[in-house]
A = this chain, B = another copy of it.
Amino acid sequence: MKISIIGVGLIGGSIALKLKQKKTADFIYGIDNNTENLDEALALNIINEKVDLKTGIENSDLVIIAIPVDSARKILPEVLDLISDQQTVMDVGSTKSGIVNAVKNHPKRSRFVAFHPMWGTENHGPKSAIAESFSGKAGVICNREESAEDALELVENVVKNLDMHLIYMNAEDHDIHTAYISHISHITSYALANTVLEKEKEEDTIFQLASSGFSSTVRLAKSHPEMWVPIFKQNKENVLDVLNEHISQLRKFKSALEKDNFEYLEELISNANKIRGILDK
């Protein structure tokens, strides 16, 4: 199978590496506005050839859109305009309602499969791509009933070859769940980094004292705004809803401390401990 990847960054690059390894892809065309990324992806053997959008699409069985969610939503209708009924398009964005609604009435809607791999890191660019990234993680396909059967089958096969386990969901539910499980973690981490940067003016002390716990909690705060601002924008209502809940949960800790109510503090912590049972199933 010949594949075009629009956006040869962390996610697009990791998919390319894995699908080449699995021989799911015979040939990969790289398409990117960032020519530095393209050259790097070529040098790293992530793509076979760098091309423009039209050439890539003309020659591919599958087109994978792996750019920030606002650009993805914008480019998808243009891509669908260019493809035939034998070609398939998928995306990898962290929000799904926006993109699905953008092509709801497009005559080629059924050639598109809305996909979201539940994996990412705080890094970016093709040099951060790792073939094994997706192994064992969840791959979510949204609104499958809106995709043609053969397009769906092709993407399911790709997801299996990424060694992910498939989950089906409608786009709206997906966006609610990812607000809880992914998007709020990023806001928390950004806010924590800003807190420490605001309060702790001695950078050397941060560096010297930073424990593995701090590094782990603040890791996501390294994630770039180019990717995350569009996600928060597209999932605004859900993110605000969870953010309000998060602030009110933090206020409970504040109140327990202020009132020296250490029994309540213990209760809050014991409740949080339940996440162990769920994550370590």
Chain A interface (Cβ < 8 Å from any Cβ of B) = 118-122, 137-138, 140, 165, 167, 177-178, 180-182, 184-200, 202-203, 205-225, 228-229, 232-233, 236, 239-247, 249-254, 257-258, 260, 262, 265-266, 268-276, 278-279, 281
A116 to chain B, nearest CB (A): 9
The reply to whether A247 and B250 form a contact with Cβ atoms under 8 Å apart is yes
Residue of B nearest to A235 (CB): B257
A192-B185, A253-B187, A262-B229 known; A275-B209 Cβ under 8 A = no
The reply to whether A250 and B250 form a contact with Cβ atoms under 8 Å apart is yes
The reply to whether A210 and B240 form a contact with Cβ atoms under 8 Å apart is no
- Would you list the 5 A-B pairs with minimal beta carbon distance, nearest first? A193-B272, A190-B272, A225-B269, A193-B275, A185-B217
Identify whether the interface residues of A are mostly helix, strand, loop, or mixed. Answer: helix
28 contacts between A and B (CB under 8 A): A119-B211, A119-B212, A120-B213, A138-B209, A167-B209, A178-B209, A180-B206, A184-B196, A185-B218, A190-B269, A193-B272, A194-B268, A195-B245, A197-B272, A199-B242, A203-B278, A207-B281, A216-B220, A218-B275, A222-B273, A224-B273, A225-B269, A233-B260, A236-B260, A243-B250, A244-B254, A246-B250, A247-B247
* Residues of B close to A193: CB separation below 8 A: 271-275
A196-B181, A208-B138, A229-B265 known; A275-B191 Cβ under 8 A = no
A226 to chain B, nearest CB (A): 9
A2 to chain B, nearest CB (A): 30
A47 to chain B, nearest CB (A): 25
Residue of B nearest to A192 (CB): B188
- In the complex, A272 Cα to B265 Cα: how many Å? 29
* Residues of B close to A224: CB separation below 8 A: 269, 273
A191-B249, A269-B225 known; A186-B213 Cβ under 8 A = yes
Q: Which of B194, B199, B212, B275 contacts A272 (CB 8 A)?
A: B194
